[in-house]
């Protein structure tokens, strides 16, 4: 079989309907467009959402809730202070260390430390946000907290 021998299956190709070729064809005169009106004219193209001049649905409905545009919500990976007990005493806990330990999954995510549970070790913790109770628990054990800049996250808005 060669390319020049290929043919479509029988009945696969049909000739197009030729309208406006006399009344005997059944598609003469108005050619199925009806009488008068915008859609009977040549060149008529009406958008699907057009409602004939009636007030459009999207403008008839009441607007509710915030309509912020261009704002992206900052999402934090949440870690409680009790989770930090798996690290050695006097260790420096940074986002990279947490990623290597498998505590957080996102590569460039922001991190927030919350104060749930009890901390048993003295640690230096680096994160993007801390809750007040987390700062209190870390510093009560002799540790320190360091707030990282938001620019550490390339997805965060400037």
The model's pLDDT over 117-146, given as tens digits with 9 standing for 90+, comes to 999 999 999 999 999 999 999 999 999 999
DSSP string computed for 15-57: PPP--SS-GGGTS-TTTTS-SSSGGGSTT----TT--TTSPPH
10 Å CB burial of residue 67 (0-12, 13-18, 19+) is exposed
**Which residue's entry shows tokens 């498998």?**
102
Mean pLDDT of 88-115: 90
Whether 114 and 133 have beta carbons less than 8 Å apart is answered as yes
Structure tokens at 113: 């430390």
Instruction: Please state, rounded to an integer, the average pLDDT across all residues of the chain.
Output: 89
Residue 113, beta-bridge partner list = 79, 130
From the list 111, 109, 105, the residue with the least C-alpha distance to 81 is 111
From the list 134, 87, 96, the residue with the least C-alpha distance to 112 is 134
Please tell me the pTM assigned to this model.
Answer: 0.52
Length of the chain: 158
CB atoms within 10 A of CB 101: 13
Spatial strand order in the sheet of 144-147: 92-93, 124-127, 144-147
Structure tokens at 12: 């696969």
- pLDDT-derived band at 106 (thresholds 50, 70, 90) equals confident
* CA-to-CA dists, residue 100 to 25, 51, 76, angstroms: 77, 58, 18
pLDDT at 158: 42
Fold observed for domain 76-152:
Ribosomal Protein L15; Chain: K; domain 2 (3.100.10)
- pLDDT-derived band at 151 (thresholds 50, 70, 90) equals low
pLDDT at 152: 47
Please write the tens of the pLDDT for every residue from 12-28.
Answer: 999 999 999 999 989 99
């Amino acid at each position: 079989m060669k390319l020049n021998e290929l043919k479509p299956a029988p009945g696969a190709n049909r000739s197009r309907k030729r309208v406006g070729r006399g009344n005997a064809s059944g598609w003469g005169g108005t050619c199925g467009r009806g009488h008068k009106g915008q859609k009977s004219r040549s060149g008529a193209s009406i958008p699907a959402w057009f409602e004939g001049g009636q007030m459009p649905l999207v403008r008839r409905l009441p607007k509710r809730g915030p309509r912020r545009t261009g704002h992206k919500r900052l999402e934090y990976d949440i870690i409680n202070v009790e989770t930090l007990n798996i690290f050695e005493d006097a260790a420096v806990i940074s986002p990279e260390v947490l990623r290597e330990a498998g505590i957080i999954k996102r590569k460039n995510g922001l991190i927030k430390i919350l104060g749930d549970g009890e901390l048993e070790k003295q640690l230096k913790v680096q994160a993007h946000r801390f809750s007040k109770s987390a700062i209190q628990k870390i510093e009560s054990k002799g540790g320190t907290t360091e707030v990282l800049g938001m620019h550490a996250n390339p997805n965060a808005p400037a």
